[in-house]
Structure 1
Amino acid sequence: MLPPAARVAPPLTGRRRWLAAAALGAAAVALPGCVRRPDVVRLAYIDPLSGPAADVGRNGLRTWQFLAERLNADENPAGLRFEVAGFDNKGSPQESLHALRAAIDQGFRVVLQGNGSGVAATLASAIERHNERFPRRGVILLNYAAMDPALTRERCSFWHFRIDADTAMKTQALVTYLVQDTPWRRVALLNQNYAHGQQVSTWFRRKAEEMGEGLSVVSDHLHPAFILRDFAPWVRRVRESGAQVLVTGNWGVDLQRLVDSLKDEGIDLPVFGYYTHLPGIPVRLAAAGRPMAVFQVGASHTNQPGRLGELMQAFARRYQEDLVVTSAYDGLVMLARAMAQVGRSSATDIARQMSGMGFEGFDGPVTLRSADHQLQKGLYINRWQRTDAVHPVGAEGTDHTFAPVRHFDGVAVSQPAQCGMVRR
């Protein structure tokens, strides 16, 4: 059973429009069958809006709200307007349960979450229990960034949909690029000691062994998450290991402080990361005073073309920061297409419609695999470099950008489905 309802955290400041929308969460009523207005569907965003990961969480909330506001016409065939309200979980699984109960009590039936695989697992389990007890008030979880493969494998759920590539898929792309496109074979791993960081280590070792080609891990360390002030001792271990390249799944302040320590220690190893494009990292890289060889594996890049590229530039003009949660675009398009078919009748009907759905994502056709609810999509390897005529948009307003150097289609990075899902 879920714990007693908790209040939604109050807004942190009154300076930005998104905070006003977030504050409405305490009084909001949402889909399905319990909306404030017939044409409005409200989504509950449960992620950190305070604490060490707040900058990432706030950027994600602004992104979902902005895209919900701007996606229309062919992108929203349901003819509904999505509104997103923020619930602050402070990065804690327990606080996430309180936020979930509050959202459910207020009528929300679609939950958005991405910062923390442990939080995603907690929410998915709680939603599974809730939906068994109260099927007429069922809830759906759209996971836009929590990458632990277990969430769509041994811990998969009919109510959980991951709209970002998981760690196994991203590591497949990263390892393939290292083996096929670089001379580097000795790798150091440095990651946060929680589900995501542990999975980055596990999957890199597994994929390196599968690929062969002499790729070896010469250093593999896990550090406490979000409490270290100085990474100097950790990066010295990397240097002493004889590694030719550093791979890290760190994000938030842990990645910011890691970059600072690499600069302070004068360590010039190429860095491959999953989240080097997130808030605060590009400005640090640009301020390094020397070129840093940094690569990022992800589903998009700074100069994304097409409709999403237009929205990214509009977002930057409005908020003076980058739109980096590009998976939100695919999530909203998928939800809108499902609701165009079944309306807002029930979470079960919407989930059934999304399961196995193929649609046009921001970077081409994608499919939400019915076997495990893992979105099948292509990935980029992006390199940090100066802007140029081909890649004119700088990251975080700098004169540097993450430019694609290789693209892998969805088939190349897809992993076998290993999910014993109980379908509804």
Structure 2
Amino acid sequence: MRKMAIGVAVATLLALGPAMAQETVKLGYIDPLSGGGASVGEVGLKHFQWLAEQVNARGGLNGKKLEVLAFDSKTNPQEAVIQAQKAIDAGARIITQGNASSVAAALSDFVTKYNERNPGKEVLYFNYAAIDDSLTNDKCSYWHFRWDASASVKMAAISNYLKNRPEVKKVYLINQDYSFGQSFRKLAAEMLKAKRPDIQIVGDELHPLLKVTDFSPYIAKIKASGADTVITGNWGQDIALLLKAGADAGLQSNWYTIYAGGVGGPTAIKQSGLADKVHDIVENDPNTAPEAAQAAESEFRKRFGASLWYPRAVNEIRFLESAVKETGSVDPKAIAQKLEGMTGGTFTGGKGAMRKDDHQFFQDMYLRSFGPLKPGQKFDEEGTGWGWTSKGKIAANDTIVPTTCEMERP
């Protein structure tokens, strides 16, 4: 009788297992939680945990709780694929990642092949920050959706701004030596040549990804070149340490970046004394954002002690929530089909759209500079008393670039 009771209990648990699993939608977060990329990976995780709380407070996804499962990619493509399989084994049908385009390419390829081998058990890959153009061009995948602007969009915005600044005469390019950094330097050279052929590129440097601890030799080269402007796609510790080395050496060049707002970046800029000479291109400017976005920014900063770096993560989860609501399903195939061509409101109050052709999201973008807070500004960064000031808004329709993607749909 005792054996029979145990057998019945086990059978009951096995029967309930799938039903219990269906009560939760699991999102696998795969980003660096150790090593040089941990500073951005940890804050990214906080974003998604915070967003999951909000979704669940609104009733979840089709009545199911959204749960975030964290996995450490170690900024390594092979390790990320291992972690993606672990996420799937743990029940995740959606994975999200953002740091390092080389990792993104590996994950996109893995998810595409996994779905081919496992019909009926498909997985979606939401990319919130890896911006190499190839991901929505020759390496595009039906199962990959990118919520950040691509490298070409961001470089187009920077080069369009520099086109009308005649004081810019000598530019130094310094980037991380991997797929995105190599792509970004190429885009910079091509777009500057097309829009400002008079600009002289006096340096073009690549350095190891997240391995340099002292950038002073690189800064010495920049100073020796006579560059009045530095353009870099560096992120994580590589932008913070690069700016710090520039500050220590008294480098007075203008900087045009994508990720100067990351951990340590604002502090290094303040130390350099380069008021309004360090710029970035982003999808949100908290000091000019609408009231609802500023309220969310304040809440996030109070809870986590960090800026809301990833409004695109907010857009990602909002669109996921809408797709589930409109389809009445949490099935990845239904969600993917609904997201194609989907439009909706963004965190900053504008309109965003997920292009069907390549699954690239388009939204308003802002070019900003960093310096002492201006009258009426409420958000400083890292307790420096300095904040970001918008230099111009690029409407979503003006950020659209062509794609070479030849989408293979299931």
Is 1:314 aligned to residue 290 of structure 2? no
Aligned partner (choices 374, 392, 395) of residue 406 of structure 1: 392
Matched residue, 1:219: 203
Aligned partner (choices 155, 172, 175) of residue 188 of structure 1: 172
Q: Give yes or no for contact 1:34–1:107 (8 Å, CA) kept in 2.
A: no
Q: Give yes or no for contact 1:186–1:242 (8 Å, CA) kept in 2.
A: yes
Q: For residues 355 and 214 of structure 1, what CA distance do their matches in structure 2 show?
A: 41
Q: Say which SS state the counterpart of residue 221 (structure 1) adopts.
A: strand
Is 1:104 aligned to residue 88 of structure 2? yes
Instruction: Measure how far apart 1:171 and its partner are.
Output: 0.3
Instruction: Measure how far apart 1:214 and its partner are.
Output: 2.5
Is 1:359 aligned to residue 344 of structure 2? yes
Matched residue, 1:10: none
Q: Give yes or no for contact 2:255–2:278 (8 Å, CA) kept in 1.
A: yes
Matched residue, 2:31: 47
CA shift in 2, pair 1:420/1:324, >3 Å: same
1:338-417 to 2 correspondences below 5 Å: 338-363=323-348, 364-417=350-403
Q: CA RMSD in A?
A: 2.1
Aligned identity (percent) is 32
Instruction: Measure how far apart 1:286 and its partner are.
Output: 2.4
| Structure 2 residue identity aligned to 1:305 | P
Under a length normalisation based on structure 2, what TM-score does the superposition of the two structures give? 0.90
Q: For residues 190 and 342 of structure 1, what CA distance do their matches in structure 2 show?
A: 46
Instruction: Measure how far apart 1:252 and its partner are.
Output: 1.3
Which structure would you say has the larger Rg? 2
Q: Give yes or no for contact 1:273–1:297 (8 Å, CA) kept in 2.
A: yes
What are structure 1's unaligned runs of at least 5 residues? 1-32
Q: Say which SS state the counterpart of residue 108 (structure 1) adopts.
A: coil
CA shift in 2, pair 1:37/1:305, >3 Å: farther
1:206-285 to 2 correspondences below 5 Å: 206-212=190-196, 214-285=198-269
Q: Give yes or no for contact 1:232–1:261 (8 Å, CA) kept in 2.
A: yes
Matched residue, 1:12: none
| Structure 2 residue identity aligned to 1:365 | K
Is 1:137 aligned to residue 121 of structure 2? yes
Q: For residues 276 and 34 of structure 1, what CA distance do their matches in structure 2 show?
A: 45
Q: For residues 226 and 18 of structure 2, what CA distance do their matches in structure 1 show?
A: 59
| Structure 1 residue identity aligned to 2:342 | M
Q: Give yes or no for contact 1:79–1:340 (8 Å, CA) kept in 2.
A: no
Q: Say which SS state the counterpart of residue 397 (structure 1) adopts.
A: coil
Instruction: Measure how far apart 1:73 and its partner are.
Output: 8.4
Q: For residues 189 and 309 of structure 2, what CA distance do their matches in structure 1 show?
A: 28
> 1:133-167 deviations in whole A, cap 9, x for unaligned?
10211000100000100000000000000000010
Q: Give yes or no for contact 1:93–1:119 (8 Å, CA) kept in 2.
A: yes
CA shift in 2, pair 1:186/1:43, >3 Å: same
Matched residue, 1:162: 146
Stretch moving more, 53-62 or 291-300: 291-300
Instruction: Measure how far apart 1:50 and its partner are.
Output: 0.7
Q: Give yes or no for contact 2:252–2:274 (8 Å, CA) kept in 1.
A: no
Aligned partner (choices 331, 336, 339) of residue 321 of structure 2: 336
Stretch moving more, 170-179 or 223-232: 223-232
Stretch moving more, 38-47 or 346-355: 38-47
> 1:102-133 deviations in whole A, cap 9, x for unaligned?
11111100001000000000000000010001
Q: Give yes or no for contact 1:188–1:218 (8 Å, CA) kept in 2.
A: yes
Q: Give yes or no for contact 1:274–1:297 (8 Å, CA) kept in 2.
A: yes
> 1:298-340 deviations in whole A, cap 9, x for unaligned?
1112323332321111011011111201111100011011111
Stretch moving more, 296-305 or 114-123: 296-305
| Structure 1 residue identity aligned to 2:304 | Y
Instruction: Measure how far apart 1:361 and its partner are.
Output: 1.1
Q: Say which SS state the counterpart of residue 385 (structure 1) adopts.
A: strand
Q: Give yes or no for contact 1:282–1:398 (8 Å, CA) kept in 2.
A: yes
Instruction: Measure how far apart 1:261 and its partner are.
Output: 1.0
Q: Say which SS state the counterpart of residue 337 (structure 1) adopts.
A: helix
> 1:42-100 deviations in whole A, cap 9, x for unaligned?
21100001111101000000011112212578998855542222111111111111101
Q: For residues 286 and 269 of structure 2, what CA distance do their matches in structure 1 show?
A: 15
CA shift in 2, pair 1:35/1:283, >3 Å: farther
| Structure 1 residue identity aligned to 2:114 | H
Q: For residues 97 and 243 of structure 1, what CA distance do their matches in structure 2 show?
A: 40
Instruction: Measure how far apart 1:204 and its partner are.
Output: 0.9
CA shift in 2, pair 1:228/1:134, >3 Å: same
Is 1:305 aligned to residue 301 of structure 2? no
CA shift in 2, pair 1:286/1:61, >3 Å: same
Is 1:56 aligned to residue 36 of structure 2? no
Matched residue, 1:85: 69
Q: For residues 200 and 241 of structure 1, what CA distance do their matches in structure 2 show?
A: 20
Matched residue, 2:4: none
Query: Number of residue pairs matched?
Result: 392
Q: Say which SS state the counterpart of residue 382 (structure 1) adopts.
A: strand
Q: Give yes or no for contact 2:285–2:390 (8 Å, CA) kept in 1.
A: yes
Q: Give yes or no for contact 1:249–1:275 (8 Å, CA) kept in 2.
A: yes
Aligned partner (choices 120, 123, 127) of residue 104 of structure 2: 120
Q: For residues 62 and 392 of structure 2, what CA distance do their matches in structure 1 show?
A: 35
Aligned partner (choices 197, 206, 222) of residue 181 of structure 2: 197
| Structure 2 residue identity aligned to 1:370 | K
Q: For residues 205 and 258 of structure 1, what CA distance do their matches in structure 2 show?
A: 21
Q: Give yes or no for contact 2:275–2:372 (8 Å, CA) kept in 1.
A: no
Under a length normalisation based on structure 1, what TM-score does the superposition of the two structures give? 0.88
